[in-house]
Structure formats: C-alpha cells, structure tokens
Structure 1
C-alpha cells in the first residue's frame, strides 16, 4: 500500500470514548449498561455517550435521558468529566506520537496518523496498528479501532464501515479493492452522508456508493443541479471524489495551531429569559468569555456578532446579526456596548432560550489603535490582572455582581467545559 509513493494512513477511533474512560476508572461499572449524560434537570439532559451494553437496549447518542431510562430502567448514569476526557485524549495522542510525528486531531476521540515513514522502523501497517491498540488499552483502558488505507478519506471509511465491526478492530482498505469492497456499500455508509442526504440520493437513483462512483462527474452534476439547484456542482464533486476514494489532503499535525477565524461562545439557558436585565447579564458573561479568550490567544477583533434563539419551542424565532467596530479591540466594555446595540435592534421581545457572542475579523493584539481620550494601557492592564487571577485560581475567583443574581450563569459555567462538567 506504500509502494510507488502511496501513503499509509490510519484513522484511529476510540470506542465509546467517554464511557470507556468511566469504566476504566470505575471497575464496578464494567458489566453494566452505562451512559454519560448532562444534567437531567436542564436542557442539556441528553446522552453524550453510551457504552456497547447500553446500545443493545437501543440507546443512542443525543437521545434524551428520560427516553433512555424508559428503555433501560437499570441504566447507570454518569455526569461528564470533560477535563479528564481531554487529558486522556492528550495521553492517547502522546502514544500515537511514539510511532509518527504526523498526527492530526480530527475530534476528541478520532485522530489521523500518517505512518508512511514509520514502516521501516515498526513493521507492517497491521502490526503497527495492533501494537498501538494494545498500548492505548493498557495505559488508558480505551479500545481503539483503526482503519488503514492510502488517504484520510478511505481510512475514515475503513474505520466506520469495517474496523468498528471487526473483532480485531483493524481493517485495511487498499485502493485496489475500492470497487470490490466499498462500492457495494449503501450510500448511508459513505462519509458525509446523513439520513436526509440519503433520501435525496435515493430519489436520484443513487442507492450505493458505487452508483455515485460510476456516474460520470458531469452527469452527476447535472443530476444535482436538477434536484438541488444551480450551486450544487461542488457538492456533487465532493461526493463523487469520496465515492472514488480520491483525497489528496495531508495529515497535518499543526491543525490545532491554525489561527482562528473567530472566537465565540454560545449558551443554552436553563430557562426562558424574559426580562431585559436577565438577558443583559447573560450577554455580558458571554462577552467576557469571548474577550478573555481573545486576550489569552493574543487577538483583537473588528466584527461583533450576536446570536439569539427565542421561544416558542415549536416555532422558534431569533437572529444572528453582526456589526463592525470603529476600532478593533478585545476589551470587554467596548464590545459589550456593541453587543447590546445589536441585541436591542433585532430582539422581538420573545423569551430568549439561547444566546451567543462572536468576535471575528481577528488580528494581532499588538496592532490596537491608540485613543487620545482614553487611557487604554490602564484598561488593558486591569483586564490582564483579572485574567491572571482567573487563570490561576479559576473563573469564579472574581466576577461581576450581576453574575450572582438568579439570571447569572458564570458560576455554573466555571465548573464546566463546553457546557459539560469538568
């Protein structure tokens, strides 16, 4: 597979990652159906991960916790520990780095490895995959499945379609076997195809991956234009290339170091917020998080976007609007002024159930514009002190009085990562 310039790419996937960690840390859970779920009293009460035993009851990720309990009354429910999961994921990355320096994080539980240059050191691809598997299991208690092929797309499908179902957890998909192995699979098995797209493709007479692959690209684009509209040529080509196993994207270790295009935070509220003062509290907390992240990463921004979703739940309304700042900044007070201006311009006074703030148009924070009428250095120094305190002692060490009201969520969010408990 690595002859004539062919690469050898792995896609390593952690089986039921969160629940595997919980079972490794708590042996008493080993033979019990277990899920990791958000707080059932809040809207985040959904299944984040289900172990294989729980899945046998028909429980699936993103299902509501109440529905899962009805399927399995004896279900063991564990709150997420996001920081711990991140730490284990980093540990697994360290293990991968023992075999290659070309490791690209795809998600918290999936990573691409280019082991082309490692074959002469560690052996054939299957031997390397098996050795990595055993090392990850012995050091973390997590079982990984590895798809192997000549590019990232094929490795991903090798994992999803075969390695996840094999007892060994390893599957090799050589490019020469695409027609025999991949093309007979239903379109829903192809990477990037959800249930909705599957229905569209079947209406076009495309039932298998081979149906897409064997259709000449111009003909496929004609089909897409007639069904999806004039701007669907790129979508058709992406699916055609995927079905034919064509992917020239390299495994890029620096993916996480790529400068961000924007910095933002969203929050689903524990209840509908009706009073303007309540919503302002949330918007201020979100603005503070965005600005603190911007300062920590060394950016100022010139465009502020406010996102808002309102009730009723059966027919939600809302908006996502932006405004350009006169001067780029990452100062909380300055950005909050713009956030409020946007919110009150577009809010329809319906109860707010979700809100977000995003800063974009980013640039180096050393390029800020001086203001003759304001002591910016003093303001920047003050925010640096508060940032340092929060970094050292936690976000709850210092906060605004409004965050201690019933509307405030800063204290609750200080013990969470990505909306889930650390």
Structure 2
C-alpha cells in the first residue's frame, strides 16, 4: 500500500496589503488597503488585518471602505511587484520540495511527502515555511495540511486563517468532527447559488452531503438539477468526504477551458451604445488575441453585464454558439454585439465581461468556400506579432481614441492594475 501523501496549501495573508506594509514600516500599526485612491468607485483588492477589524472588506468600493475607516490608507496596486514577490515565494518553496503548484498569486500547493524524513513533521515544515517567507517578504503565511489538495485547501480556508498559529491539519481522522459540522457554503467550490440548491434539498452542512449514499445523492441532484448533474454530484460528494486523487503538478496548470476579459466601469461614463462600443471592441480584441496566443478557438461566446440607473439595477449573462469555432475578431464581435443588444435594458453599465468557451485546438478548423479564413487568421496573427514586439498600443482601433476607450490606460497596467 503506498504511503499517504502530505500536502500543504500555503496562503499569503492579505497578500497585496502585507507587501505594501513591509515596504512602508511607518504603516505598521495603521489600517492599509490596496486599491486606487483616485477612483472612489473602484474596489478594494486587499485589506490588512487592522483594516478588516474596522469593517473594511475585499471587493467593496473604495469610497465605502474610507467611510467605514476614516484613517484608512489606500495604496495604488503595484502588480509587477506582487508577481515578483510571488515568484520569490515559489523559489522558497522549491528549496523544500520540487513539487510546487501555484494555485493563485498568493496560494500554492506543496507535496512535502518526500521532505518529511529530512525536515521533520508536516507542522515543522509549515513553521519553517512561515519563518522563511516572513523574513524574505514580510508576508505572514497560513498553512493547511492534508493528505490531498482538497483537504489542505479546506484546512487553510476554514481553520488556518482563524488559528493564531496559522497552521491546521485536516485528515480523514478528524474530518467528521472538524469539517462536517460546517455550513455547506464552507465546502470548496460551493458558491451562493449551489448553497441555495443544497438548502432546498435539506442539505445544510458538509456532513449532510458526506453521510448520504452516493447513489441517493445523485438521485436527489437529478430531481433538482436534471440528469446531467451526475458528475457534479460525484464531485461534491467526494469533496465532502475528502477524496481527491489529483497530484501536485509543478508549474502552472496548462489546460485552459475559458478565455475571458472584463471591466468594472464608472456607470456615469457608459450610458449609451456609443459610449459602450469602444470598450466592447477592445474586450473582443483582447479575448481573441489571448485565444490566438494560447492556440485555441472557441465555439461558445458569452456576454455578462450589470447595469444601474442609480435607483434600480439589473444584470444578465447570456451565451451563443457560433457556427464554427473562431478567434477572429469580426466573428466573435458580431456575436457579442447581438447578445448585448438583445439583453441590455438600456441603463448605464457598471460591468461588462466577454467569455470564449468550448475551446478546440486552432490547428484544426473548418475551411470556408466563400471566405479566405487562412488569410484572415494570418492578418490577425501579424497584428499580434507587432503588439508583442512594440506593445499593445502599437496598433489600435480608432474607437480607442474616444473618451470611453481604455486601451492606452490598460497598456500601462498589469491585470487591470498599475504595475
């Protein structure tokens, strides 16, 4: 029988805010949040524990956070710095084990099964990691320990973050007493909508799902969500029972299932279709450019938007299947335009997102008797080459010069934030 694995999920506490406080010792005892202080309707990306204790929350508006905490110091994000620190932390982890899998910019999985004989128990390794990362970056780490990635992740999210030591081990020996009593929304990958489905099924805790027979759970899920829900049912049942055979894979996960891009917007600027179209075109261009970079064409185009007039709000998310997979801007753009006009109620926009899914390898595609697709693909790839060499604004649509275009502002940012 193979030896049980030992997996860690290491999370950097208030990652962006911790980096900023480490760079500014004068802010050590002050409430700090990362966001754009010049954009009061922008969102808080991270808040330090002091700010959180005063009611500041991630993803709330900057103006709301500053109203709650009058002495809040809001610092504009420096994404390149955060990426560099994340890569430094990866190097620290790789000095402990060669099995390191980044999960996000501030979370990484480590398989330390082979390191225990050299460095001590999983808890001792966790403390070693906390010390090295803190000394090198100023970031305090919370560490979840488990026999697999799922349990390590849920140990971090539900227990390590509340434990003063920042370490918690969740195993099959204590899952029933520690994890199962938690409300079902505390389970990994269970969001608000799925929690509501489970509540209507009478499943209020993680243990309610774990204790069910799998076939009975599938039956209940089919009644609630249709026959296609069997795969979902098996996934949630295995998660509740702490079953996860997936390995820790060094490097970033390579399989891409979705390519998307979106913006949170100043609703006062995006009131008419004339205002919205320059941004919509830019989003289509970026989604298609990413798809070409990754070597995928998409068959399904989706548009999501939120709108408000200050009194009432509305949102929608709709998708359309193209006649053939594509990453050509005029084909994807036509679908986006049609979907948006069909479902937009005409109020000013606060969010707009475009997504390309049902991806397939771009080395195989359907030819067209009436359109030279190869020539169009070569043309768009030639534009990509120029942008890669000279920058994303080397060639832009004329509409990006209008006041609601964002191409030039975004070119100076990383991931939508200042570098």
TM-score, normalising length: structure 1: 0.83
> What is the Cα-based RMSD across aligned positions, in Å?
3.5
Alignment CA distance shift 1:233-1:286 (3 Å): closer
Matched residue count = 416
Instruction: Say whether the 8 Å CA contact 1:310–1:317 is kept in structure 2.
Output: yes
- The aligned residue for residue 319 of structure 2 is 321
Q: Does 1:148 align with 2:145?
A: yes
- The aligned residue for residue 384 of structure 2 is 387
Deviation at 1:197, TM superposition (A): 6.5
- The aligned residue for residue 403 of structure 1 is 400
Q: Distance in 2 between matches of 1:195 and 1:261?
A: 22
Alignment CA distance shift 1:30-1:218 (3 Å): same
- The aligned residue for residue 273 of structure 2 is 276
- The aligned residue for residue 8 of structure 2 is 10
TM-score, normalising length: structure 2: 0.83
Alignment CA distance shift 1:67-1:357 (3 Å): closer
Instruction: Say whether the 8 Å CA contact 1:303–1:325 is kept in structure 2.
Output: no
Gaps of 5+ in 1: none
Question: Among 117, 121, 125, which residue is 1:124 paired with?
Answer: 121
Q: Does 1:261 align with 2:279?
A: no
Q: Distance in 1 between matches of 2:78 and 2:131?
A: 24
Gaps of 5+ in 2: none
What is the 5 A alignment of 1:299-314? 299-312=296-309, 314=312
Alignment CA distance shift 1:6-1:356 (3 Å): same
**Matched position secondary structure for 1:136:** helix
What is the 5 A alignment of 1:14-413? 14-38=12-36, 41=39, 43=41, 45-185=42-182, 187=184, 189-192=186-189, 209-217=206-214, 228=224, 238-253=235-250, 256-258=253-255, 260-271=256-267, 273-312=270-309, 314-318=312-316, 320-325=318-323, 328-344=325-341, 349-367=346-364, 383-413=380-410
Deviation at 1:221, TM superposition (A): 6.0
Q: Distance in 1 between matches of 2:134 and 2:103?
A: 20
Instruction: Say whether the 8 Å CA contact 2:318–2:339 is kept in structure 1.
Output: no
**Matched position secondary structure for 1:47:** coil
Deviation at 1:114, TM superposition (A): 1.3
Segment of structure 1 superposing worse, 143-152 or 92-101: 92-101
Q: Distance in 2 between matches of 1:33 and 1:213?
A: 41
Deviation at 1:19, TM superposition (A): 0.6
